Amino acid sequence: MSSRRDFLQQLTIGIGVAALSPAAASATIANVKKSEKQLRVALMGLGGYANMVAKAIKDCKRVVLTGIVTGTPGKIPEWQPAYGIPDKNVYSYDTLYQIADNPDIDLVYITTPNSLHYQHVLQVAAAGKHVICEKPLADNAQQAREMIAACKKAGVKFYVGYRLHFEPHTRELIRMRKAGEFGRIMCVNNYMGFKIGDPTQWRLKKALAGGGAMMDVGVYALNGARYATGEEPLWVTAQETKTDTVKFAEVDETVTFQLGFPSGAIASCGTTYNFNNYERLYLIGDKGFAELSPAFSYGPTRGRTHLGAMNQPIVNHQTVQMDGLADCILNGTPDPGMTGEEGLKDMLVIDAVYESIRRNGEKIYLNKKGTV
């Protein structure tokens, strides 16, 4: 796989770009330049999620897709005409550094496999462009620290794709918690998982995925516990269950983990690659409760509390995330917890989860600095 990827990255980027009408490309960029305060975005890694983001951007008011970065030249003829991307805004992983001189691009959205995030964030930062990176942020907390430092040194903004922080039901839950409507938070029960398919996919290869279910969708249950309590955990315990040692030879299959918080609140969480219909956030306070189910997938999100149905708007998560992100960058609106530092906090706990598994479920304490 690596030799094929290297070969494709070395191909000239002009292969197959003739499918786009130059006039159409020019018209697209001209429209962008005429618009006031639009965030101009390039997508890096043109897989399934990038396609979802690209389609969502079409409905954004403050964001426009102006560039692409890919290691697979064969995808270029599909993307260019679909989104009006001119030749000069198409890059390979090897030519990414040239993006530094392109005024048509403000930010690069990284949706490549997990273990490539570290390298790609450093590349984008070095090119002087703002960056948003998909979850999980990195393979471990140390990489996350280095990514944050690189972006600060370059003077660029660094965000993580926590789309749920813009989702109305999730925002209402956080508002109610901050307003004290649940009282003292006592318990959180979160889980997120699905039955993974193709056994040859990159998510089951540790060199590309960094880990299994915990790294991929376990971060939703973890992040949800943190925003449901508004606290950072003091300790972590975790257990792994593996029923298929062939398919999950390199990565974790099912992980359950528990978190203890300074207020005394506890969280019981789970994640899996082995079964479906496993998605929920349940918060219990001494004055009320909240339940989101579905809570973490692409929607429609549904919720209820001790007061009744939440009845929040149903939105496209990626559209509201990108418009919200643009508002943060262009207008200085405070971000709702999606900076690189937020991603680091999750990585610190994920490190502790894996450490507890290695120690057969031993309780791992996190110190005041959030490190093991």
Q: Nearest 5 degrees, angle CA 215-CA 216-CA 217? A: 110
Active site residue 159: no
* Candidates 191, 220, 273, 354; catalytic one: 220
Task: Give the residue among 229, 353, 219 at the shortest CA–CA distance from 282.
Answer: 229
Beta bridge partners of 279: 192
Please identify which of the residues 135, 162, 191, 345 carries the catalytic annotation. Answer: 135
Q: Dihedral of CA 160/164/167/172: which sign?
A: negative
153 noted as active-site residue: no
The residues annotated as belonging to the active site are: 135, 220
